[in-house]
Amino acid sequence: MGGELIDLYADYEYARGDSSDRARDRRKDLRTLGKTARTTNQVYQAVADPAMGRYEKIGAGVGLGVGVAYGYATLPVVLADGPLPFFDIAWAYSTARFTQKSVKTGRYIGKQFD
């Protein structure tokens, strides 16, 4: 739901008619933030699925751990790049996507053992 609300606000910003570079960058940041919120929700749903088997849960947990480790390993680079909000949002989105894919891969491998 959070991603849709952020997209709605970005549409509102566009409808206001401000076409400056700063407004366009802000709308682009809002769109990326909305995608990040939706992806994070999908990761949560993939990990918290009650219909998973034992090894599928273990695989999802390992995939989640790999995604969190990736985010933790790349965080110093994001902090060192300075105050660049677009790149920080892009990093969060890419980390959420990587985590989502690693959870799905872990679930798939675990499902082979169930």
Domain boundaries, the chain: 2-113
**Alpha-carbon distance 103 to 94, whole Å?**
14
Amino acid at 91: W
User: With left for phi above 0 and alpha for psi between -120 and 50, is residue 112 left, alpha or beta?
Assistant: alpha
Provide block-wise average pLDDT over 10 residues at a time, the chain (114 residues): 64 72 76 81 79 88 92 83 72 88 91 86
Joined together, the tokens standing for residue 48 give 């918290």
Looking at residue 105, its pLDDT comes to 93
